[in-house]
Amino acid sequence: ISNNSYACWLQYKKIANVAYEKKVKLFLETVVAAESSTVMETALEELQAAVSKMTGVHLEKSAEPPANHGIVLSTAAHFHQEEIIGRHVLAGLGADGYVIRSLATDRKKLLYLVGKTDKGVLYAVFHLLRLLQTEQPLEQVNIVENPRNPLRMINQWDNLDGTIERGYAGKSIFFENNKITANITRIKDYARLLSSVGINAISINNVNVFEAATKLITKQLLPDVAAVADIFRAYGITLFLSINYASPIQLGTLPTADPLDERVQQWWKEKASEIYRYIPDFGGFLVKADSEHRPGPFTYGRDHAEGANVLAEALKPYGGVVIWRCFVYNCLQDWRDRSTDRAKAAYDNFKPLDGEFLDNVILQVKNGPMDFQVREPVSPLLGAMKQTNQVLEFQIAQEYTGQQIDLCYLVPQWKEVLDFDTYAKGEGTTVKSIVSGSVYGFSHSGIAAVSNIGNDVNWTGNTLAQANLYGYGRLIWNPELAAEEIAEEWIVSTFGNEPLVTAMIREMLMESWSIYENYTAPLGIGWMVNPGHHYGPNVDGYEYAVWGTYHFADCHGIGVDRTTGSGTGYVSQYFSPNKEMYESLENCPEELLLFFHHVPYTHTLKSGETVIQHIYNTHFKGAAQVAWLIDKWRELEGKIDQERYENVLDRLQRQLKNAVEWRDIINTYFYRKSGIADEQNRTIY
């Protein structure tokens, strides 16, 4: 097995451009680190190893600042060369920020990497390495970077038995046989990947905490958890655990987990103190409570604030936080009940509690009101709670977007979410400004996402799905980056600097979300997947189910009326003018038409097509586009290594089968329901 698949974007291949290599080598003589710390050591190690691979130069570590050629690593507090970087520049750095500046004259070639903290230095090193990978000149570097989001987190949905909930790339790299794995090399390599794109927090176990995982916070498993925390700490990443709300019962001897019971409060306090003895910088708890059959405060007639605050009190003395998920809804709904709308649930459950949560509680809100569908509106809860810390939750794992068989580059989708104007505090109150904490001055905020990795050699099943992990980190560091820009960076770091390869893969990535949307559920309706595993088409798979996931298609029309006038009233959860926009059939963005409105198949879209013809057209188109993706990819044979070429080709061929299946099932279903023929008389079964 070659390193190509495994190293992802940290290939650090020998620089092929001789002229460029010659120029950069002038900067690469010695390196000095102004102080020492674990993270600083990591920064040095990463720099030396990558430079040696890319240029063959062994960067000598020196105690003295370089006279003429070399690199200086320093934190702001230890950096006193004001003529190089002014004090005001350093003073402007946020917690994880950094400056990279070069000084290049005929005689001197110097690079200064100065972080607010040692973590900033590490990020600066990865940035410099990115410059080298993408062959940027070093002579005039003047970079100041501050991450937009304070919390930049990954959620693993890994179970202790080694399986991964919604995992599409093998087994867990963390757990096997109800224990933490002995193979920590892989964990370290994961830490490198994450840190290189700015991730600073991780929860390592599934939010559904079953029996074995409940024990992660006991002395039986804490020493091993602490060892994992050590690995991540060296890369500037803080470790969190998902906990079972019923822990006081399951691990202790208490008959209750009632948050207002003093024994329960005491139990959590002792538990926190125990955890911090093993992991002094433990991040805190991630909690899925009263959601999909997981225990929570509802059992005791308490609300989510009371539920979360007991944990927050316990963690507070140590600086820990509680990340409480808002994915709370009735998962035992009766499909005959038209008054309950799952989309409304998060807002209905949490909005009334604004102001009730302690300062070290953060609510984690999924990007959409349902569940990571191909297309959803933005959750109206984002921005609706002015006195409560919020983080946004994305899903990098492609549960509903092709399961890492089908190609679906998600950065464009995430960008739409981040750029969405909620109008929560007037025009311009974008989601990105809310979750970065700047609008309401949150004490904790940022973004989390469900990871897409497993122990497959290439980490993500489909090699091209690595772009989503990379892209997630880069985008939440700087939401202003363009999706193309991120794609391009990823391709060059991953496959090398070959313009043709870059152009081709970039085009494939950029088209992929729209292609996937074309052949799956139309116009924002969602959910037409096989129940349980969620891959492949099944129009009525969730129609008469308990999950609150309906499309209401009959022989006349399709869609969920969520308007205030005649529907569930979900639209009223948005601020004006969004609520008016969604309420109106005219003004509702068409890609979300069936999310908000029930319309006849003959309803005419702005393109002039009817809804039924749109369904046919997009489904024929989507499947044809997958064939186009395959043609594109075939052009790359011989231009990239065979291993990755074949991995992607195999996935694309499976994707084509899936797309054809979707096309035919969706078209046939709606043809039979509507009785309206395709204008172009294409084959519908």
The pairing of beta strand 98-104 with beta strand 142-145? antiparallel
Among 116, 148, 166, 304, binds ligand GCW (CB under 6 A): 166
489 in active site: no
Which of 126, 157 has the CB closer to ligand GCW? 157
Which of 340, 584 has the CB closer to ligand GCW? 340
Q: How far is it, in rounded angstroms, from Cα 296 to Cα 315?
A: 18
The residue sitting closest to ligand GCW, measured at its beta carbon, is: 371
643 in contact with ligand GCW (CB under 6 A) = no
Write down the least CB distance from residue 278 to ligand GCW, Å. Answer: 26
- Reported in sequence order, the residue ranges of 396-462 that DSSP labels E, i.e. its strands, are 446-450
371 in contact with ligand GCW (CB under 6 A) = yes
Write down the least CB distance from residue 159 to ligand GCW, Å. Answer: 10
Write down the least CB distance from residue 169 to ligand GCW, Å. Answer: 16
337 in active site: no
**What letter does residue 208 receive in the DSSP assignment?**
S
Could you tell me which residues are beta bridge partners of residue 154?
A: 202, 449
Q: How far is it, in rounded angstroms, from Cα 386 to Cα 439?
A: 9
Residue 16 exposed, middle or buried by CB count within 10 Å (0-12, 13-18, 19+): exposed
Which of 423, 535 has the CB closer to ligand GCW? 535
288 in contact with ligand GCW (CB under 6 A) = yes
538 in contact with ligand GCW (CB under 6 A) = no
Which of 270, 292 has the CB closer to ligand GCW? 292
Is 24 in a helix, a strand, or coil?
helix
157 in contact with ligand GCW (CB under 6 A) = yes
**Selected catalytic residue, list 35, 60, 211, 292:** 292
Among 409, 523, 535, smallest CA distance to 472 is for 409
**Selected catalytic residue, list 371, 511, 517, 583:** 371
Q: How far is it, in rounded angstroms, from Cα 347 to Cα 385?
A: 9
Residues of this chain, 301-330, that bind ligand GCW according to CB under 6 A: 327
Q: Which residues of 595-620 are buried (b: 16+ CB within 10 A; e: fewer)?
A: bbbbbebebeeeeebbbbbbbbbbbb
Question: Are 403 and 393 within 8 A, CB to CB?
Answer: no
Q: What are phi and psi of 16, to 5 degrees?
A: -85, -30
Which of 288, 342 has the CB closer to ligand GCW? 288
Among 501, 514, 488, smallest CA distance to 624 is for 514
Q: What are phi and psi of 284, to 5 degrees?
A: 140, -160
292 in active site: yes
Which of 120, 162 has the CB closer to ligand GCW? 162
Q: How far is it, in rounded angstroms, from Cα 137 to Cα 147?
A: 23
Among 37, 81, 178, 208, binds ligand GCW (CB under 6 A): 208
Among 135, 161, 165, 348, binds ligand GCW (CB under 6 A): 165
Among 15, 204, 207, 231, binds ligand GCW (CB under 6 A): 207
**Selected catalytic residue, list 118, 303, 393, 399:** 399
Write down the least CB distance from residue 239 to ligand GCW, Å. Answer: 19
Question: Are 362 and 435 within 8 A, CB to CB?
Answer: no
Write down the least CB distance from residue 70 to ligand GCW, Å. Answer: 49
Is 546 in a helix, a strand, or coil?
coil
Which of 147, 368 has the CB closer to ligand GCW? 368
Q: Which residues are catalytic?
A: 292, 371, 399
Give the footprint of ligand GCW on this chain (CB under 6 A): 157, 165-166, 207-208, 288, 292, 327, 371
